A and B are shown apart, each in its own frame.
Chain A
Amino acid sequence: MSGSYFLRRLLLAVPTLFGVAVIVFVLLRVVPGDPIAMMIPPGAGADDIENLRRVYGLDQPMLVQFTRWLSDVARGDFGVSINLRQDVGRLVLSRLPASLELAVVATALAVLSGGLLAIAGVYWRGRWPEAVVDGLTGLTLAIPDFLWGLVFILVLGVLLPVLPISGRLDPRQAIAFSSQFYLAESLLRGEFRVLGMLFTHLVLPAAALALPLMAVIARMLKTSLSEAMTQDYVLVARVKGFTRGRIILREALRNAMIPTVTLTGVQFTFLVGGTVLVERIFSYPGIGNMAIGAVISRDLPLIQGLILTFAALFIAINLLVDLTTVMLNPRVRHG
């Protein structure tokens, strides 16, 4: 059953992605506003504008433009960026690793801190640490990553200048990397000085992204853990004389994890979406920052390529989450 289920889900992703492509394409062309108008230098004549339109195929009927673009995309050709004059596919690929590293570190931070908060809240149930955990999750849930980023810049970048607030690396240091995965590469090579520098640049944007997800994880896991603590097997473990900490970590946690894993997956797409702004705020060279730049300069091919990339990421994440849920949950698996 899970084979056919997987196939069905995979097939369903195709029309969704196609829908995204259609909407983006139409949106960027139908609504008033001329992409060419933004890029012509002052003093350009009507001929120049016509020429530009022809170069980018914008003089063709929309349906022709769309089928041409779609068949190019299907072959992996996303066109050429109007502004940066480079292949869109290559541009996106060169920036994607930075964003992925940011998202992975942020997720790791969120899972770790959210998990610890939930366990602490359940361990000290009814005492002041639980109130602290509840207050913290309420606060971090209400404020979005964008505002956290700004608060971090103000507090840890300016008022107590302990961490860098822009970029991925210290621009004064030239370090050669053979891939775009700086973090993974320096980790594998064991260059801990570089690793530390990368990490100090990464920690504030990652924390800004992580806080809302941390709150979601902490709240969900705490609820499931509290529920698990009332179950018979926990009572049995208590009768056996196991300590409270051991019962939470060894018995309850395993059973309480499933809903949290599902929710984390769903929320992970929000985190990926959040990278757009957080990268901008921290001048971090990922695809999100690039996307905002592309929008501001009206770089149509680049915007289209980036939105499709994001949509594909979102759909892939949702698919993975569904499959993980199916594999973790016996009731769904055999249902």
Chain B
Amino acid sequence: MAEWVRRSASRGGLWRALAGNGRVVFGGIVALVLVVVAVAAPVLAPHDPLRQDLLDSLLPPLWAGGDPRYLLGTDGLGRDIFSRLIFGARIALTVAVIAASLAALLGTLLGLMAGYFGRWVDTIISRLVDIWMAFPPVLLSIVLVAVIGAGLQAVIIAIVIVDWTRFCRVVRAEVLVQREQDYVTSAVTIGLSRWRILLGEILPNLVPVLLVLLTLEMGIAVIVEAILSFVGLSLSSDFPTWGGLIQEGRQYVYQSWWIMGLPVACIIVVVLGFNALGDGLRMVLDPVMRR
């Protein structure tokens, strides 16, 4: 069993430690709400997010004296903003989970190899990371999506290709520390294969770090998706994305600021949530931070 699991268990339970951390609780609630809204979007949304009604365009939200049928008002084509925000959560969550997991997978694999195998494997992977660091990440993802062609898949691929280095760098550095530990030496002595040591012995000890990075990456993925929709490269406006709403709202910002304001608020809450969750997990799981 990995060191961190035992240590946490010995201190009165991992779950209690997590529940006692305010950041974990806040972030967890935000994540939970996001999941529920995304899954139950068809039930929660009062309108079809795509249905246009030009007679009811640019209606203000209810608090500003709007039509009671449209809680948060309508956009320039008379589509219900509340429903579009709810369905936007679906896309945000999909991108966050899939893109962050794939980036973690690729980055971790390369980081493990670079850190443990050393020599030319490390040289090649580290040079690659150096080259990646010389690109402005936002520009790179925009170029990638433009090249691959708009769409959810392209957004996910772009995030993975741009952000795998975040995992690779940290994992490589961690492996360099771990491989000098006694348990690795013992594993080598009893004749375990290199991959077995990497995946069976070292990797479990990296779980806390990876969990923290993964959570933070989900927040980043939500932002990148919004950025790409904002630039107009993600999905067509048939798919209600938060970034797309922001871009539409930018045009009407002087007449109806809330069209841009509401999705910005959604993204900020989600990003703060994932950040708090990541920070909180780090505090609970990382023995150095906990001291």
Q: Which residues of A contact B209 (CB under 8 A)?
A: none
Interface centre among A144, A274, A307, A310 (most CB of B within 10 A): A144
Interface residues of B (CB under 8 A from A): 127-128, 130-131, 133-140, 142-144, 146-149, 219, 223, 226-227, 230-233, 246, 250, 253-254, 257, 260-261, 264, 267-268, 271-272, 275-276
**B231 contacts A310, C-beta separation under 8 Å:** no
**A314 contacts B134, C-beta separation under 8 Å:** yes
**B253 contacts A158, C-beta separation under 8 Å:** yes
Q: Which of B137, B140, B231, B261 contacts A292 (CB 8 A)?
A: B231
Cα A273 to Cα B227 with chains together (Å): 14
User: In chain A, residues 12-44, which have Cβ atoms closer than 8 Å to a Cβ of chain B?
Assistant: 15-17, 19-20, 23-24, 27-28, 31-33
Interface status of A210 (Cβ within 8 A of chain B): no
User: In chain A, residues 147-180, which have Cβ atoms closer than 8 Å to a Cβ of chain B?
Assistant: 147, 150-151, 153-154, 157-159
**A314 contacts B133, C-beta separation under 8 Å:** yes
Interface status of A184 (Cβ within 8 A of chain B): no
Q: Which residues of A contact B131 (CB under 8 A)?
A: 16, 19-20, 23
Interface status of A291 (Cβ within 8 A of chain B): yes
Q: Which residues of B contact A27 (CB under 8 A)?
A: 143-144, 147
**A20 contacts B264, C-beta separation under 8 Å:** no
A-B contact pairs, 8 of them (CB 8 A): A27-B143, A139-B272, A146-B226, A147-B267, A273-B137, A277-B227, A296-B232, A307-B135
**A142 contacts B144, C-beta separation under 8 Å:** no
**A158 contacts B135, C-beta separation under 8 Å:** no
Q: How far is the CB of A35 from chain B (nearest CB, A)?
A: 9
Cα A139 to Cα B26 with chains together (Å): 14
Residue of chain A at shortest CB distance from B146: A295
Closest 10 pairs (CB-CB, A-B): A273-B136, A19-B131, A142-B275, A311-B134, A295-B146, A31-B147, A314-B134, A158-B257, A310-B136, A150-B264
Q: Which residues of B contact A310 (CB under 8 A)?
A: 135-136, 139
